[in-house]
Amino acid sequence: MGKPVDVLAIIFLCLPALVGAQTGTNNPGAEGGAAGQQAPVLSPRTTPAQAAVATPDAGEGRIHLDVVVTDKAGKAVPGLDLKDFTLLDNGQPSKILSFHAIDATVQAGSHPVEVILLIDGVNLDLQAVARSREEIGRFLHQNGGRLAQPVSIFIFNDDGVAILAQPSMDGNALAAQLDKADSKIRTISRSSQYGGFDRFDLSLKWMNVIAQSEAKRPGRKLLIWAGAGWPLLDGVRVQISQKGQEQIFSRIVDLSTELREAHMSLYSVTLGQPGLGTFLYEGYLKGVKTAEKANPPNLGLKVLAVQSGGRVLGPDNDTAAQITDAIRDASAFYALSFDPPKADRANEYHDLKVQIDESGLTARTSTGYYNQP
């Protein structure tokens, strides 16, 4: 039997984005953090006329949340008032300082939510990428190509994340651009010993870049990631040192904060059938309070999706339906804000829950945040 892999050594060799992470001050997209080395950036996206608008000003609160309320059928519920909401911070009621109900179905000419469809050419094999592209095309052609929200298409490959199609509500035009897309898949060998670690690094690095880029744009965003994401690195032969856990914890804090500040929820849509490890992510959904509890699986795509207020859909053989289901969350939501209590230490984790004073309704939002002194 071979010796266990020391994750810390692998991090320094293959996960440069984790090295030197500084909460709130680092640029997670920086490649290795070397002096003078330019961080990767995402090309600017356009904002079509009467397309994306800013969510209403959240007022005095330091923490802003986007909350989706659904009924038993999973349909977004509009028309609720502030009195229907209770916000719990670490189990204690917290005063909601501002509240706005957004119903995209009645706000003609404005679309407070944008949808990003991302094709993962790094973590999917060639056949899965082709099938994902077909399913996305099928979604775009639905309803005669008329989309309810502006949709962009991103492609993730060896070179990073590229914007294939700018925001548009013309599904047919987007599908035509997708048909012409270069099908280049990353060249890194998946059979190499550290292929999983490398994909882990590349994926998280560009997730940070996307979040930082989207934070500069107004409005709420749904990032729908075609695929189950990068490896969890949860193998029994994986070990990690104290220093490695501190670096992973720093990345957890950064991503949690960046996704919330970008008003971006993640969704994982997956083709295929459930198999060994499909639901392994569910064991890592609880917020990480200290570096001693931090491990690579806490940064899994599905974990981040649930924690950001998004969802995990599939696996099944109808990704087009999964995307349609995810986008139902864009039809109505609630923007609220609050002030966190005084923190006793840096990166103090707080659990968040929103309760609705009406039976049969469920609220989804960020499941926690890291408070600062």
For 144-196, write each residue's pLDDT tens digit. Answer: 999 999 999 999 998 899 999 999 999 999 999 999 886 555 555 555 555 88
Q: Give the span between the Cα atoms of 76 and 89, in whole angstroms.
A: 24
Q: Does residue 98 sit in the same domain as residue 209?
A: no
Q: Does residue 288 sit in the same domain as residue 342?
A: no
Closest to 253 in 3D by CA, of 286, 222, 290: 290
Q: Does residue 79 sit in the same domain as residue 192?
A: no
Residue 307 has pLDDT above 70, yes or no: yes
Q: What is the mean pLDDT of residues 197-213?
A: 95
Q: How far is CA 115 from CA 43, 171, 188, 312, in A?
A: 17, 12, 29, 16
Q: Does residue 144 sit in the same domain as residue 158?
A: yes
Q: Does residue 204 sit in the same domain as residue 167?
A: yes
Q: What is the mean pLDDT of residues 80-95?
A: 98
Q: What is the mean pLDDT of residues 64-77?
A: 96
What is the pTM for the complete model shown?
0.88
Give the pLDDT of residue 238: 66
Q: What is the mean pLDDT of residues 306-321?
A: 97
In a domain, 79, yes or no: yes
Q: Does residue 160 sit in the same domain as residue 173?
A: yes
CATH number of residue 290's parent domain: 3.40.50.410
From the number of C-beta atoms within 10 Å of its C-beta (0-12, 13-18, 19+), residue 285 rates as middle
Tokens 């330019």 correspond to 38
Closest to 257 in 3D by CA, of 368, 110, 145: 368
In a domain, 341, yes or no: yes
Per-residue model confidence as pLDDT tens digits over 40-56: 778 778 765 444 444 55
**Counted domains in the chain:** 2
Q: Would you state the structure tokens that stand for residue 169, as one six-digit string?
A: 């509500």
Domain of 279, in residue numbers: 109-330
Q: How far is CA 165 from CA 75, 99, 202, 222, 327, in A?
A: 28, 33, 22, 16, 18
In a domain, 53, yes or no: no
Give the pLDDT of residue 110: 63
Per-residue model confidence as pLDDT tens digits over 222-268: 999 999 999 999 875 567 889 999 999 999 999 999 999 999 999 99
Give the pLDDT of residue 1: 43
Query: Percent of the chain, pLDDT > 90?
Result: 71
Q: Would you state the structure tokens that stand for residue 189, as one six-digit string?
A: 């060998």
CATH number of residue 85's parent domain: 2.60.40
Q: Does residue 207 sit in the same domain as residue 242?
A: yes
Give the pLDDT of residue 28: 37
Give the pLDDT of residue 34: 38
In b/e form, how buried is each residue of 19-45, taking b as 16+ CB within 10 angstroms?
eebebeebbbbbeebeeeeeebebeeb
Q: Does residue 241 sit in the same domain as residue 338?
A: no
Q: Would you state the structure tokens that stand for residue 217, as one six-digit string?
A: 């744009």
Residue 204 has pLDDT above 90, yes or no: yes
In a domain, 237, yes or no: yes
Q: Does residue 274 sit in the same domain as residue 325?
A: yes
Give the pLDDT of residue 192: 54
Query: Percent of the chain, pLDDT > 70?
Result: 80
In a domain, 280, yes or no: yes
Q: Does residue 196 sit in the same domain as residue 240?
A: yes
Q: Does residue 131 sit in the same domain as residue 80?
A: no
In a domain, 300, yes or no: yes
In a domain, 1, yes or no: no
Give the pLDDT of residue 46: 76
Q: Does residue 242 sit in the same domain as residue 262?
A: yes
In a domain, 135, yes or no: yes
Q: How far is CA 205 from CA 26, 200, 257, 343, in A?
A: 12, 9, 15, 29
